[in-house]
């Protein structure tokens, strides 16, 4: 049988087959979906650019944060401050391997070490201190508690954090968060809040009896321990603890930073989830999003931490 020559374009249009019409709604749907995705993608890129410039656009993480530095108060008294972290959290052990951090631990530790050296703090890598009966994240409590007797303040940093603006001192941050200059009296715990409430990834603890008892109580919240998910439970335990603290005690001992970006900024990632968050909690998102000039970047909840760390450290290279 001789092959039939293909019908000319004119012939095809002249005799539309009924199936063409049945495909039309599907085609329209596909075009609409593609346009919607394109629009969302465009919106996300545009929003990312705007959010990254939050500080240039007038956001203030704290008044007069820039330029004020140095670790002394009026009396010339220096405080001993330790930055405590595990440089290789998890190390591929246990759940959440997708978020594993191997290979970048050293880079992040170097970043913290350089900042501590510049400012006269001590960087403590408490990685050897992990209690493997719980997800490693819980051991931050043990690490902080073990260092507290030797310092005036301990600044806890999860492993997925980097100092992006080393010109800002921790004393300046504490003054801004506490709202006064006396760092030798309570509050004892200084935290930030994101759209989920208090974040346990980055916080300050002052050496005091209250702090020691608080850390013990936090560690004792064993019913919150979770295995096999991205949640290990220590953050939920902290939130529960703060929620159930008597109001008077909370007021006296715990300070929530007026702005998350004072010392715990999250990068903007173009996902539907973050877009949804931006529209449901615009103020909180704006106050917590990482913008150029912010002190600390925290890759909270992100998967591709390795790429983030090296990209951001590249950005920091002095020009
Ligand atoms: C925490 O638990 C330990 C061991 O069970 C106990 O000795 C300690 O008193 C508890 N501390 C607090 C503050 O609850």
Does residue 5 fall inside a structural domain?
A: no
Report how far ligand 1's centroid is from the alpha carbon of 139 (Å): 16
Using the predicted structure, report yes or no on whether residue 247 has a pLDDT greater than 80: yes
Does residue 57 fall inside a structural domain?
A: no
The ligand 1 site (C-beta within 6 Å) comprises 213, 216-217, 220
Does residue 165 fall inside a structural domain?
A: yes
Q: Whose CA is nearest to atom 9 of ligand 1?
A: 216
Structural domain including 281 reads 64-314
Torsion, CA 144, CA 147, CA 152, CA 157, rounded to 10: -40
CATH number, domain of 272, equals: 3.90.550.10
pLDDT in tens, 233-242: 999 999 999 9
Using the predicted structure, report yes or no on whether residue 37 has a pLDDT greater than 80: yes
Does residue 245 fall inside a structural domain?
A: yes
Q: Whose CA is nearest to atom 5 of ligand 1?
A: 220
Does residue 187 fall inside a structural domain?
A: yes
pLDDT in tens, 43-74: 888 888 999 999 999 999 987 676 444 455 54
Q: What is the pTM of this model?
A: 0.84
DSSP 150: G
Does residue 48 fall inside a structural domain?
A: no
Does residue 105 fall inside a structural domain?
A: yes
Q: Whose CA is nearest to atom 12 of ligand 1?
A: 217
For ligand 1, mutation pick of 216, 219, 249 (most atoms within 8 Å of CB): 216
Ligand 1 atom at minimal distance to the Cα of residue 213: 13
Report how far ligand 1's centroid is from the alpha carbon of 216 (Å): 6
Share of the chain above pLDDT 70, in %: 84
Ligand 1 atom at minimal distance to the Cα of residue 220: 1
Annotate 103-142 with DSSP letters as a single string. Answer: TTHHHHHHHHHHHHHHHT-EEEE-GGG--TTS-GGGGHHH
Number of domains present in the structure of the chain: 1
Using the predicted structure, report yes or no on whether residue 7 has a pLDDT greater than 90: no
Report how far ligand 1's centroid is from the alpha carbon of 219 (Å): 8
Does residue 31 fall inside a structural domain?
A: no
Residue range 118-135: average pLDDT?
A: 93
pLDDT band at 5 (very low <50, low <70, confident <90, very high): low
Distance between CA 70 and CA 242 in Å, rounded? 32
Q: In 3-state terms, what secondary structure has residue 242?
A: helix
Ligand 1 atom at minimal distance to the Cα of residue 216: 13
Helix axis angle, 209-219 relative to 234-244, nearest 10°?
A: 120
Q: Whose CA is nearest to atom 13 of ligand 1?
A: 217
Report how far ligand 1's centroid is from the alpha carbon of 213 (Å): 9
Q: Are 161 and 202 in contact (CB under 8 A)?
A: yes
Using the predicted structure, report yes or no on whether residue 205 has a pLDDT greater than 50: yes
Report how far ligand 1's centroid is from the alpha carbon of 220 (Å): 6
Q: Whose CA is nearest to atom 8 of ligand 1?
A: 216
Annotate 285-310 with DSSP letters as a single string. Answer: HHHHB--TT-SEEE-TT-S-HHHHHH
Report how far ligand 1's centroid is from the alpha carbon of 145 (Å): 13
Nearest Cα to 161, choosing from 103, 100, 212, 85?
Answer: 85
Greater pLDDT, 215 or 90: 215
Q: Whose CA is nearest to atom 1 of ligand 1?
A: 220
CA atoms within 13 A on the CB side of 17: 5
Report how far ligand 1's centroid is from the alpha carbon of 228 (Å): 26
């Amino acid at each position: 049988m001789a092959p039939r020559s293909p019908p000319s374009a004119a012939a095809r249009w002249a005799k539309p087959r009924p199936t063409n019409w049945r495909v039309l709604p599907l085609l329209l749907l596909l075009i609409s979906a593609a346009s919607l995705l394109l629009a969302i993608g465009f919106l996300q890129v545009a929003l990312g650019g705007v959010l990254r410039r939050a500080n240039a656009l007038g956001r203030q993480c704290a008044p007069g944060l820039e330029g004020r530095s140095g670790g002394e108060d009026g009396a010339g008294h220096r405080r001993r401050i330790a930055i405590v972290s595990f440089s290789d959290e998890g190390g591929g052990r246990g759940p959440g391997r997708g978020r594993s951090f191997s290979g970048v631990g050293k880079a992040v530790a170097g970043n913290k070490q350089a900042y501590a050296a510049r400012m006269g703090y001590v960087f403590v890598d408490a990685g050897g201190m992990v209690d493997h009966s719980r997800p490693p994240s819980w051991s931050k409590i043990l690490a902080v508690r073990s260092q507290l007797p030797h310092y005036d303040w301990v600044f806890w940093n999860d492993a997925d954090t980097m100092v992006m603006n080393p010109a800002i001192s921790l004393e300046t941050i504490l003054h801004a968060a506490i709202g006064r200059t006396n760092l030798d009296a309570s509050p004892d715990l200084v935290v930030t809040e994101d759209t989920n409430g208090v974040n346990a990834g980055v916080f300050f603890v002052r050496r005091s009896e209250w702090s020691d008892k608080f850390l013990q109580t936090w560690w004792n919240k064993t019913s919150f321990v979770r295995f096999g998910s991205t949640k290990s439970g220590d953050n939920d335990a902290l939130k529960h603890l703060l929620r159930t603290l008597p109001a008077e005690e909370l007021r006296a001992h715990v300070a929530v930073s007026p702005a998350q970006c004072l010392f715990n900024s999250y990068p903007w990632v173009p996902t539907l989830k973050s877009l949804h968050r931006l529209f449901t909690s615009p103020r909180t998102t704006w106050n917590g999003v990482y913008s150029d000039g912010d002190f600390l970047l925290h890759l909270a909840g992100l998967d591709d931490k390795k790429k983030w760390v090296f990209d951001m450290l590249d950005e920091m290279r002095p020009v």
